[in-house]
Amino acid sequence: MSLVTLATIAISLFGSVQAAYDNTCNDNLVQYWGQNSYGAANPSDTANYQKTLSFYCGDSTTNVFPVAFLNVFFGTGGEPEIDLANICSSSSDPVFAGTELANCQFLAADIETCQAAGKIVTISLGGATGGGTFTSDAQAEAFADQIWNLFLGGTSSTRPFGAAVLDGVDLDIESGSQSYVPFVNQLRSHFTGASKKYYISAAPQCVYPDAAIGATLNAASFDAIYVQFYNNPCGLTHYSDGSYTWNFGVWDYWARNISPNPNVKVYIGAPASSSAAGSGYVPIATLQTIAQQTQKNFPSFGGVMFWDASQSYANGRYDVATKSALTSAGACGGAYTYQACTAPAFSATASYPVGSTVSYGGYQWYARYYASGPPVGSDDSNAWRALFACGGTSTGSTTSKTTSTTFSTTSKATTASTTSTSKAATTTTTAASGGSCSGVAAWSASATYTAGLDATYNGQLWQANQWNYDEVPGGASGAWNLVGTCASKRSMETGSARRSVKFVRD
């Protein structure tokens, strides 16, 4: 069946030819397809098992479908293997002679129908338990040639999807530390001068840098990355819990300052229902807010990725509600309006307690714990967390650090408008006592300490110099300063003061 014929079918099904995929947009939606995630988690609900691909292309909600997974790189007969769960696999469908590569050519019509509807369809390599290891750069390049011939614009007698030509490759590599740079570069060499546009994406964990593919992301050109903000300590559930471990800002900094492609788009990867992941699922209203705020706050934002299509459909079309939130303020063409930098500019001579905000390097930053050095955008463990990208001269005034200090910042609004709130950092100073332990609690491994808080340990008074948890005073972390041996409390008119800091957030 020709692409022209399929386009005609698409018109009759969808009413009109939908706009072609645009990677510059910040309201795109990506849904992985192929693993029947809902069916695996809910085996008794067969009615909601994964359907064939064209089922999910009946409206304009989804822009990209990574087909998951090509899970074996070097299989029987030198061919890779694909596993599409209840749709097509070597265990339930014919394979090409002398291989374990499933013949899924019946899916060619589905793929072309989705493409005719303005979507792109890519092949995803790896998965949680899949992948492969290259013994040399030459082998990696040869594998890229093989992928080109089997799934993209090349030719082979063992093409799993027949004449359908996929739109690119996705790397969902979740183990090992293999470099995929030669593989990506070789694919790019095939893309040059091709008759259609091809894309390369990756799906790193949100912990930065990603252990499995971080080095490749820093050295090869990607069009989009679908960051997995689930099953991780930097996941969606930590977006506004006060921990400031949500780290989209780190990935935005990577995209704009480290990635070989400064126009790479960064997506919020999310589970599409509570059964799609071990952790990270949030109610739809929460995800809508996070998506809209991130869309406003970071220029690299490309949209939302879901694991997976079967889950979002079974979850009351979770995807439709998300897409609606994205398109309400979406834009294409790379246009982005920077917010004003409202916090004071960072000063190398100042010290900043928890809750301070500064402007530095094109971002507004929040101090997660005591900080004196500048924000480092590529350091996920840095004291500073990027709140949003900003432009222009800081409109905030320099504020001295006294016993009562107020920092102003612009909050990330729930809609496209900006709502201003304040974070008040009230610092009360008590007599330092030069080692008095009166009224000071003993150090506890289960307590959290911020800079300036005191604790007693082994008959000595200690003061935290940074946020810490389960860090023994006097230990290798250096998180505590020794004030002195416990002594009777006395009024202090000279010396250093001890602080207890309370932060109030509206």
377: number of Cβ within 10 Å: 23
Element (H, E) at 321: helix 318-327
- Residue with structure tokens 């309006």? 337
Q: How many CA atoms does the CB half-sphere of 359 hold within 13 Å?
A: 22
Instruction: Return contacts of 490-497, CB within 8 angstroms, 24+ apart.
Output: 490/431, 490/433, 490/434, 490/436, 491/431, 492/431, 492/432, 492/433, 492/434, 495/432, 495/434, 496/432, 497/429, 497/430, 497/431, 497/432
Query: Are the C-beta atoms of 299 and 256 separated by less than 8 Å?
Result: yes
Query: Do you know the residue count of the chain?
Result: 506
Distance, CA of 367 to CA of 365 (rounded, Å): 7
105: number of Cβ within 10 Å: 16
Instruction: Return contacts of 380-386, CB within 8 angstroms, 24+ apart.
Output: 380/207, 380/208, 380/209, 380/234, 380/247, 380/250, 383/352, 383/466, 383/467, 384/358, 384/360, 385/244, 385/247, 385/249, 386/249, 386/250, 386/252, 386/253
Catalytic residue, candidates 100, 112, 174, 471: 174
440: number of Cβ within 10 Å: 20
Strand, coil or helix: what is 297?
helix
| Residue 174 annotated in active site | yes
Distance, CA of 27 to CA of 29 (rounded, Å): 7
Distance, CA of 104 to CA of 121 (rounded, Å): 15
| Distance, CA of 29 to chain centre | 14
- Residues with Cβ within 8 Å of residue 363, at least 6 apart in sequence: 249, 253, 375, 377, 386, 387, 388, 389, 390
402: number of Cβ within 10 Å: 8
Active-site positions read 174
